């Protein structure tokens, strides 16, 4: 009897330990850092499909968007951050608020779908943003854009969604060398980062967007392969993103998997461990 009671007590202690560990991990994720795995190529070549990073939630303070969303369609699970932390949802404000800077790479909640997006901050509140012939203008002044060679990758399915890259040198057969023109864009504050070009298309010429107060304008670095603020929300784009929808800033890639799963360690890219995000 004493042995059975001791075993039962041991099992219960193990269960409590696991529960406490999960609670601590959940609190840590909600308050400080959120893991994020890059699913698409909209931020190439700054971020590649399969990059794994942590988003710093302390950068901009906290709102309802700071709580995690749980989306597992295979099991019919779709719990939005607002369902968990709706009590923090207010008039586009944040607690312990910090202001983002132009050029930050930011994870945010899509204003309509609530899904996590990651893009680069281009337009600040009050700015007028326009794209003319692929060149970004901020308050009617063009950003500096300098040619920087080619971005090269293999024409093959990438990541768990098996997405194939678009190529400027199209057509390219399976296994062929896919290239895109690469440029260094420098914003008015002097921050520089890499952007890619694939072709001339509609998103290379836009109307003038005036960014509302406490909203932001985002674009992907892979400019011709990004659904972002250049497209209105009602036609599948992002539109202007409210301040309260910001989750946090992405500063560094921890590791990167070129395979279908981040668990396939033999597919990890050796040159992307702890790589700073510019």
Per cent of the chain over pLDDT 90 is 65
Does residue 20 form part of some domain? no
**Residue 1 is assigned to a structural domain of this protein:** no
**pLDDT (0 to 100) of residue 6:** 47
- DSSP state at residue 272: -
Distance CA 251, CA 118 (A): 12
Give the residue from 67, 112, 108 showing the smallest Cα distance to 88: 67
227: domain CATH number is 2.10.109.10
In-domain check, residue 83: yes
Give the chain's domain count: 1
Domain that holds residue 68: 32-276
In-domain check, residue 69: yes
**For residue range 202-245, what is the model confidence (pLDDT) as tens digits?**
899 999 999 999 999 999 999 999 999 998 876 678 999 999 99
Which residue carries 């699913």 as its tokens? Answer: 39
CA nearest to 100, candidates 230, 274, 242, 220: 242
Distance of CA 31 to CAs 24, 57, 65, 220, 248, Å? 11, 7, 11, 26, 11
Question: Within a domain: residue 16?
Answer: no
What ranges make up the beta strands (E) of the chain? Answer: 33-37, 51-56, 70-72, 77-79, 105-109, 116-123, 128-132, 135-138, 141-142, 144-154, 177-186, 192-197, 209-210, 215-219, 241-242, 246-256, 275-276
The per-residue pLDDT for 14 is 52
pLDDT tens, residue by residue, 39-54 = 999 999 999 999 999 9
Nearest to 249 by CA among 44, 3, 34, 26: 34
* Both tokens assigned to 224: 């011709």
The residues annotated with a catalytic role in the active site are: 42, 119
- Is 117 inside a domain boundary? yes
10 assigned to some structural domain: no
Say if 157 falls within a structural domain: yes
Is the predicted pLDDT of residue 152 greater than 70, yes or no?
yes
DSSP structure class, residue 124: -
What whole-number distance in Å separates Cα of residue 274 and Cα of residue 256?
Answer: 9
């Amino acid at each position: 009897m004493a042995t059975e009671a001791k075993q039962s007590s041991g099992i219960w202690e193990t269960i409590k330990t696991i529960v406490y560990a999960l609670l601590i991990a959940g609190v840590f994720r909600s308050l400080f850092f959120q893991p994020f795995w890059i699913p698409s190529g909209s931020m190439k070549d700054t971020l590649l499909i399969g990059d794994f990073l942590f988003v710093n939630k302390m950068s901009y303070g906290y709102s309802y968007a700071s709580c995690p969303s749980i989306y597992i369609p295979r099991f019919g699970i779709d719990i939005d951050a607002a369902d968990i932390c709706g009590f923090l949802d207010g008039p586009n404000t944040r607690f312990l608020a910090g202001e983002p800077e132009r050029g930050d790479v930011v994870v945010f909640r899509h204003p309509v779908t609530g899904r996590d997006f990651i893009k680069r901050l281009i337009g600040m509140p009050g700015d007028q943003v326009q794209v003319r012939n692929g060149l970004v203008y901020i308050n009617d002044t063009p950003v500096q854009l300098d040619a920087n060679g080619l971005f090269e990758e293999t024409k093959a399915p990438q990541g768990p969604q098996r997405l194939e890259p678009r190529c400027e040198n199209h057509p390219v057969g399976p296994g062929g060398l896919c290239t895109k023109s690469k440029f260094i864009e420098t914003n008015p504050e002097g921050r520089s980062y890499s952007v890619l070009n694939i072709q001339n298309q509609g998103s290379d010429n836009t109307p003038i967007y005036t960014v509302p107060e406490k909203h932001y304008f985002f674009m992907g670095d892979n400019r011709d392969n990004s659904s972002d603020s250049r497209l209105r929300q009602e036609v599948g784009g992002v539109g202007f993103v409210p301040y309260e929808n910001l989750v946090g800033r992405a500063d560094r890639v921890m590791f990167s998997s070129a395979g279908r799963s981040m668990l396939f360690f033999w597919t990890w890219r050796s040159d992307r461990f702890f790589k700073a995000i510019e």
